[in-house]
Amino acid sequence: MIKDSSDDDIVFGPAASESDVPNEDLGGEELDGDDLDGDDTGGEVRIGEEVFRDIVVPESANGQRIDFFLTQACDGFSRTQITQAIQAEGATLDGRTVRPSVRIQASQRIRFRMPEPPTDDTVPENIPLDVLYEDDGLVVVNKPPGMVVHPARGNWTGTLTSALAFRFQSLSDVGGPTRPGIVHRLDRDTSGVIVVAKTNAVHMHLSEQFANRVVEKEYFAITAARIDRDRDIIDMPIGRHPYQRDKMAIREHHETSKPASTFYEVISRHGRFTQVRVKPKTGRTHQIRVHLSHLGAAILCDRLYAGHAEVTMGMLTGTHDETKDKVLLDRQALHARKLTFEHPQSGKSMTFEAPLPADIMRVVNVLERLP
């Protein structure tokens, strides 16, 4: 796997080889259990097609949230999966259905319906796709916001790869069984243009273009602050955040840091907000988001770097009456607008553009009416 991409964009080259006792009146089949912190955490029992886990809360977990505790107690599942299972009335505490936020006490008894385990292969799903272009070698898709590109921990269904597997008979397998056709990636909350390979030869050619940085990528963003310079290049190395593992940060002379360069150009300013065109020259995880945040102009609704996850008309206009409290945008205002590359088969330069999605356009329309 070659990690070389624009913001939230990872290029996929050849994949590496992958090599208490249950209640007696349930009539279920007891499965192997394990211990947590040496206390009696119970075992698992199968009732029909469902598997439950019975746990007696140990002293060490006294006062913890039930979703946090079960994430530690049930290996192989993310906290998101555990939370979703609890929300689906999958957990009882001393016989009562509870919410994920409930605090547990020592000696209480939990019965938890285990989520379905993830599979190693992509499961085709009939999910609509906005296909911008297709030929016998590749497909270009306008990815909607909220869609994960490929299955990963906590996101095993509803992915772009599931939609692709359902719609297309043949896709490249260079990236491995869970990433058919996937050459590069966009983050879940970043919408826009993404190219998919149908054959291995096309996949390898596209991967090489991304790795050599000859693919031109243009993003549209709205920042939650005014950018004073009309245009500039940000050259600042990016590495892992020192204490938040899901974030990146500007870090010089650190073992995780890599050079990063981003060109930006202001499209228009609206009070304290800015519409901006961004062209990453290098490709690092969260590059655009980190660089704009470094300017003091984090992307609007960027949960990680702006500190807020939604915006209303009242927040944009500075008024806060009930008629203006409707949420206009609830994900980062970042859109992969254009992608230019050489077609692996014809050798021609091709540019694909995805129009701004409806949620970002709602914000643009409000901003452009501001004085």
Mean pLDDT of 327-356: 96
In a domain, 272, yes or no: yes
Give the rounded percent of residues in the chain with a pLDDT score beyond 90: 59
Mean pLDDT of 71-86: 78
187 is catalytic: yes
- For residues 106 and 160, membership in a common domain is answered with no
What's the pLDDT score for residue 56? 92
- For residues 160 and 285, membership in a common domain is answered with no
- For residues 221 and 196, membership in a common domain is answered with no
Q: For position 220, which CATH number holds? A: 3.30.2350.10
DSSP run (H or E) holding 210: helix 200-211
Its pTM stands at 0.69
In a domain, 140, yes or no: yes
What's the pLDDT score for residue 321? 60
Range of the domain at 298: 214-371
Query: Which of these is catalytic: 187, 189, 302, 359?
Result: 187
Which of 179, 212, 245 marks a domain boundary? 212
Three-state DSSP at 293 gives: helix
What's the pLDDT score for residue 194? 97
Pick from 56-65, 155-164, 215-224, 239-248: least confident: 155-164
In angstroms, rounded to a whole number, what is the distance separating the alpha carbons of residues 46 and 187? 37
Which of 78, 113, 148 marks a domain boundary? 113
In a domain, 174, yes or no: yes
Specify burial of residue 253 (Cβ count, 10 A radius: 0-12, 13-18, 19+). Answer: exposed
178: confidence class by pLDDT, cuts 50, 70, 90? confident
22: confidence class by pLDDT, cuts 50, 70, 90? very low
What's the pLDDT score for residue 173? 86
pLDDT digits (tens, 9 = 90+) for 218-235: 999 999 999 999 999 999
